Amino acid sequence: MTAPARGGRGRVSSAWRKRLEIAFFVTPALALFALFVVWPIVTAVQLSVFRWKGFGPLTDFVGLRNYVTVLGDDVFVDSVVHNLIIVGGSIALQLPLGLALALLLNRKMWGQGLLRTIIFVPYVLAEVIAGVVWFQLLQPEYGVLDGLLGAVGLQAPEQGWLGDPDLALLTVLVVLTWKYLGLAVILFLAGLQGVPEELYEAAQLDGASWWQTQRKISVPLLGPTMRTWAFLSMIGSLQLFDMVWILTGGGPANSTTTMATYLINQGTRSQNFGIAGAASVILFVIALVMAVLYQQLVLSRDTRPDVVTVKRSRKKVTR
């Protein structure tokens, strides 16, 4: 009678040992997540319902007035539109360019490693360095870009690329494409390495051209990688701050203001930390909603079992 009890105690102690091991490895990650994610969110929500200038206790409770002020501010509404334009523009520009470069660099050629490094270097540069360099290149009159245009007989914008409200956001979008294109290329190249070589060999035996092979094999199998990259690009575009802050500061005439630059302006320059807290909460909600929708509508297809495969497996089971 003692053997089963001893075995039962052994199973219980083994289960508790597994739980302790899980707790030991998970607790530090949960602590960091709570410290750097949960606590800032809670603090932002707390600030968003007070009128606070950055000093003294939180005593002036205003409820949802800060949210009403933010949502009624035309500058903030424009900043949301600018973020959405950057999201769509980044994907529309970087996806075809990154895919074309990845397919090209996936072929064996001379200097392949050097070309990959050159394309990836802008991504690893610090945003401050890249922003300052482009700020100098785009300066009117003495900037390198205006000098090159003048050398070939073309005239640059009178107010400069970053000073014209009609061109500033497009110019920022071009700089962002240069900066983050390397990430798309590297991810797509990594995805192409996972395509079985047998598929390419079978396509060659069937007489398919290089373009047909890429269109029918490489691009479809690269779908999960492209969808994951688009998700990362979307989240990064919604949180965009540093590059815009360095290049334009949100100007001219708020034509390049993003949600992040808006809340920084409200917090550090206007000392309206309650308004900044409300704007940060709205930014968080917008990013969360878009992430969840993208997960449910786009990324979920990569985890759903194929309907045809499920039906076939059911038929085999019933047989």
Distance CA(145)–CA(138), nearest Å, equals 6
In this predicted model, which residue has the larger pLDDT, 312 or 32?
Answer: 32
Q: What is the mean pLDDT of residues 126-152?
A: 87
Whether pLDDT at 121 is above 50 = yes
pLDDT of residue 6: 54
Number of Cβ within a 10 Å radius of residue 202: 13
Examine the pLDDT at 213 and tell me if it is beyond 80: yes
CB hemisphere CA count around 130 (13 angstroms): 19
Q: What is the mean pLDDT of residues 138-144?
A: 83
Q: Which segment of 133-137, 271-275, 304-308 scores lowest on mean pLDDT?
A: 304-308
Q: What is the mean pLDDT of residues 155-162?
A: 84
Please calculate the CA angle 310-316-319 and round it to the nearest 5 degrees. 140
State yes or no: pLDDT of 312 exceeds 70.
Answer: no
Quote the pLDDT of residue 129: 92
| Mean pLDDT along residues 265-293 | 90
Q: What is the pLDDT of residue 313?
A: 38
pLDDT for residue 310: 38
pLDDT at 268 over 50: yes
Q: Is the pLDDT of residue 316 over 50?
A: no
Alpha-carbon distance of 211 to 194, in angstroms, equals 19
**DSSP-based three-state secondary structure for 261:** helix
Q: Which residue has the higher pLDDT, 64 or 108?
A: 64
**What's this model's pTM, rounded to 2 decimal places?**
0.84
d(CA 5, CA 178): 68
Q: What's the pLDDT score for residue 10?
A: 62
Q: What pLDDT, in 10s, does the model give residues 29-80? A: 999 999 998 998 899 899 889 888 878 888 888 889 999 999 999 999 999 9
Task: Considering only residues 110 and 266, tell me which one the structure prediction assigns the higher pLDDT.
Answer: 266
pLDDT at residue 230, rounded to an integer: 93
Section 237-243 average pLDDT: 91
Distance (Å) of CA 132 to CA 111, 170, 192, 219, 245: 30, 18, 34, 36, 10
Specify the pLDDT at position 171: 93
Q: Which residues contact 204 (CB under 8 A, 6 or more apart)?
A: 213
pLDDT exceeds cutoff 50 at 319: no
Give yes or no for residue 311 having a pLDDT over 50.
Answer: no
pLDDT at 207: 84
Q: Where residue 228 falls among pLDDT bands split at 50, 70, 90?
A: very high
